[in-house]
Chains A and B, each alone.
Chain A
């Protein structure tokens, strides 16, 4: 086994040809302190109409990956290698003009905080309609009608009058609905939702997630849902990818990963999550330590300084060798522990704590 993982083949989850296919994606930023390896050798697929949840701590490369898919990184400071294929079209190295045509039409993004992500200077209707006009060449009137139609679809009351409101006149939940309306206005086949519910309170959060799900079923959109909330993934996604330090450390269907997680980091994430049915006297266990610096990654497995199970690895290797994500398809984890060991540790030590 080599220290560099080989290109990994990833299952498309729900089967069929993937709509988005990412292979060996690396994103590096040059900064004054050195090169930040924000995403390293990442591969994943998203099938049409399915939802992939990407989970990880802040700085694990979730957002960077998706901004790379949209081509929104500053090319002067970013080095992107690997391949990103959207519906067969290569996006890495594509010209700005080509990307402009795809953004908002074939792929679009829902941002975390709709207050700052919507322009305070333009009406909601204009911001939605503008995308539509850009990609379809519609007239102002048609764009406005389309904006009203979209606002109706995302459940904004009195859309014909609210279309002329500014974002600050909307409530937080309505703003996020407007944001969703904006990203779906051209019926994109891929929507990247970057923590779409983090800025919202819990009841609104549930409404927004249901809305996304409904719209997905209606329009057959593939969704990448970036979140650090495993609960959100559990109720919306079919597949999960757990990211750590710019790499995928575990991947599988929601059922596989949440019911039988294999990577110590995933165990840590699950243990740190409160359970409604769990014993109140069992303290939550956070993942100890802090995320590593992406400029100076720990040698071998980047998770080893925070891992509680290093000693159990037969023959060591945690500090010297980077474990590949294996097996190549299906439920996979990047860990030196043997498959049997992982199962035993999870059942004996982790599961009882999850309640």
Chain B
């Protein structure tokens, strides 16, 4: 297990290095000059050169990349702001340290993810199992077609629709806002209820279909038939055998989805004006805010890589045939 973790962590670091390098390279491949954006209307060549130097854009991109990388470990000072290691740079657009911005935004995305994940896991797996249990019957057909419908919905359709139906026209629920959980847990849940519902609606559908199909597959396995042949009850066969087998697929997909969701639900956050990582990503791109953009990319990539390792470790716990090395 320890060997596995060490090996995978080293591998993850290599991946992150490559991801950040590609982000740098890509940024310089697009014809945008961030210095010009900050130079303003009365931009003289001297001013421009000065800003470029201040921001560090006067070096070739590999040098800049190296500077960014070494600053993580050594720290640095930007615009008279000291940035202690680990330092992920300074956003000139926001006049703030990247690390601070990310820490500010992450709780919103985390809350959005946790809430909807709880809903879509419970509802999705529950409905999927029900459909698998009633395979071929009316319940199954209804569940399958509703989830097909829901999964073909997009946030930008379902989001405004939900806002109109639940908030604007009926006042049933509060307009989406983010209140820190530690300040007011009820306000936290109330403020995020609509985004949770919308986000989990689409994900629930995916989990329903996935759970149903892997349960149906497991139920036709030989070992499930053996369990029935030795007199196990229907519930026990369903839960202890078939579900055990189906769990592997679901855990795998969920781990990766969790990484993706935590990296920022761009459209959801934009639709509901929530200040999370996804919304930040859009802004940093629009502002040609390189250090922020790289910061977000690295955070998102880290989350995905991290959950991949977790999934592999979890898989070994679920399936005794898998051995970690």
A residues engaging B (CB < 8 A)?
A: 70, 72, 76, 96, 100-105, 108-109, 111, 113, 116-122, 130-131, 134-135, 166, 168, 182-183
Contact = CB atoms under 8 A, between A and B. Distances in A.
A101 B230 CA distance: 9
Contacts of A109: 226, 229
Given A120-B319, A121-B319, A104 B136 contact: no
Interface size grouping (class) on chain B: 20 to 34
B229 A121 contact: no
Interface of B: 136, 221-223, 225-234, 241, 244-245, 318-321
B230 A183 contact: yes
A70 B226 contact: no
Given A72-B229, A76-B136, 15 more contacts: A70-B229, A103-B228, A105-B231, A109-B229, A111-B222, A113-B222, A116-B221, A117-B222, A119-B223, A119-B227, A119-B244, A120-B245, A120-B320, A121-B241, A166-B320
29 contacts: A70-B229, A72-B225, A72-B229, A101-B231, A102-B231, A103-B229, A104-B229, A104-B230, A109-B226, A109-B229, A111-B225, A111-B229, A116-B223, A117-B223, A117-B225, A117-B226, A118-B226, A119-B223, A119-B226, A119-B241, A120-B319, A120-B321, A121-B241, A121-B245, A121-B319, A134-B230, A135-B231, A166-B320, A166-B321
A96 B321 CA distance: 33
A96 B320 CA distance: 32
Contacts of B221: 116
A103 B232 CA distance: 8
Contacts of B230: 103-104, 108, 130-131, 134, 182-183
A72 B231 CA distance: 10
Residue in B136, B230, B231 whose Cβ sees the most chain A Cβ within 10 Å: B230
A72 B222 contact: no
Contacts of B233: 100, 134
Contacts of A116: 221-223
A113 B136 CA distance: 28
Contact of A131 (B231, B320, B321): B231
Contacts of B321: 120, 166, 168
Contact of B318 (A121, A166, A182): A121
A117 B230 CA distance: 12
A166 B321 CA distance: 8
Contact of A104 (B222, B231, B244, B320): B231
B221 to A, nearest CB: 7
B273 to A, nearest CB: 46
Contacts of A134: 230-233
Contact of A120 (B223, B228, B229, B234): B223
A204 B201 CA distance: 55
Contacts of B231: 100-105, 131, 134-135
Nearest to A185: B230
Contacts of A113: 222
Contacts of A100: 231-233
A74 to B, nearest CB: 9
B226 A111 contact: yes
A120 B230 CA distance: 16
A104 B227 CA distance: 9
Contact of B228 (A72, A76, A121): A72
Nearest to A112: B222
A123 B133 CA distance: 26
Nearest to A120: B321
